[in-house]
Amino acid sequence: MTALSALNRIDERRHFRAVDRVDVGISALRTDVVRTREAFDAMAHQWQELERQVDGAVLFQGSGWARAIFDFEARRGNVAFDPVVATLSDGQRLVAVLPLERIRTRARTVLAPLGHAFSQYSDILVGAGLEPRDVIARLLRTAIKAAPCDAVSFLKVRSDSLLAKGMPENHLVTGTEQGAPYVALSAFDDYVAYFQTIKPKTRKNMRNARNRLERDGAVTHHIADGAEERLEVIERTLSGRANRLKDQGLTSRAFRDTAFRGFCASMADRADLPVMAMSLRHKDEPIAEQWGFIHKQRYYAFVASRDFSNSDESPGKLHLGEVIHACAERGLDGADLMVPVMPYKLTWATEVVTVRDYALPVTPRGMLVLQSWDKTMRPLLKKAMFNMPKGLRSLVMKLAGRGL
């Protein structure tokens, strides 16, 4: 036996010890795994009731997001879609949901959050009074038994989430630590009180930038009214963002997926996943736009773009102020600006929540790939790419087939 295989076996034993360490009270509850749309529809109402009770940034673990993923995968005929939604019930009452799907590649088979290609946070729904660590262990064991895999991947886990608090002991931290800026509007009486917390010099600079724009033409803020207008904003932001990534020689997990545009377009008229789409216009032409979801009194900024020919006037920063004002006018508790941290976001944020990537090895193959690729090679390659000149980076991405 090699040293590596011995390490893998030890880790595998540690994994199952961690997963099996379940509280007696939790073990008395019933687990199940939802694998089909029919099974999802049968428990969707219970899921919705549970998410109403759970605090936090749980949009991507909600029933609306799950339904959107099921709808989209069915519409595009994705036969590889393999949902693995682990649930915990107390009698007829749903008390926890861990929504996952199984992804198979040549290198490994992984359980990842449902809709992982497009979601922004990994988390779990756990009802009040239950210990997250025990629930997570129980549901992971259930999911892995129903859908064997080499590893479990949880990307973008907020430090304030139940998933972070209950992460099994054998977890690995992969990737680079990030931050998610957040605007806690509920901490202020109104938008005026919040706005006064912005540095006076920053407020003055933004006022001057807006005045310069207004000398050349009217500056207005528009919130899309109806599915058609929302779709127009969605399509423009996707095109603008894709062009910007291409110009910078960059890519992203979502934009690499050719289906991302279609998925976003399908969000324009969903009643179970409300979208707010907004435009900052100069002479009636959009110079900065953004759209996102509203869930449990929180706005989630999903895609944004801006006119870089107006960079001197910071249209993205100006527009974000309008976005936050619109959230306040609607009585929302906060605006989640999500990863990554950007200077224009920090101008408005009241806090930044730490976000990390986690992975759990299940098999020796899973441990090998996690250690060699996720923890070692991928971060090194990513750092090297970001340090390249823009032109060289674009060429490398094109040759690698990773361009947009």
Higher pLDDT, 245 or 56: 56
Query: Contact 102/84 with Cβ under 8 angstroms?
Result: yes
**3-177+355-399 shares its CATH topology with 185-332:** yes
pTM summary value: 0.90
* Per-chain mean pLDDT for the chain: 91
pLDDT digits (tens, 9 = 90+) for 260-319: 999 999 999 999 999 999 999 999 999 999 999 999 999 999 999 998 777 677 899 999
Look at residue 382 and tell me whether its pLDDT is greater than 50: yes
Domain boundaries of the chain, sorted by first residue: 3-177+355-399, 185-332
Residue 170, number of CB atoms within 10 A of its CB: 19
Look at residue 2 and tell me whether its pLDDT is greater than 70: no
pLDDT at 403: 42
Q: Which CATH entry fits the domain spanning 185-332: 1.20.1270, 3.40.50, 3.30.70, 3.40.630?
A: 3.40.630
pLDDT digits (tens, 9 = 90+) for 295-308: 999 999 999 999 87
pLDDT at 4: 33
Look at residue 30 and tell me whether its pLDDT is greater than 80: yes
Look at residue 101 and tell me whether its pLDDT is greater than 60: yes
Residue among 314, 289, 275 nearest 220 (CA): 289
Give 399's pLDDT tier (boundaries 50, 70, 90).
low
Give 10's pLDDT tier (boundaries 50, 70, 90).
very low
The CATH code of domain 3-177+355-399 reads 3.40.630.30
Share of the chain above pLDDT 90, in %: 79
Long-range CB pairs of 34-40, under 8 A, 24+ apart, other chains included: 34/83, 34/85, 34/87, 35/82, 35/83, 35/84, 35/85, 35/146, 36/83, 37/70, 37/74, 40/66, 40/67, 40/70, 40/83, 40/85
3-state class (DSSP) for residue 169: coil
Look at residue 47 and tell me whether its pLDDT is greater than 80: yes
Query: Contact 330/177 with Cβ under 8 angstroms?
Result: no
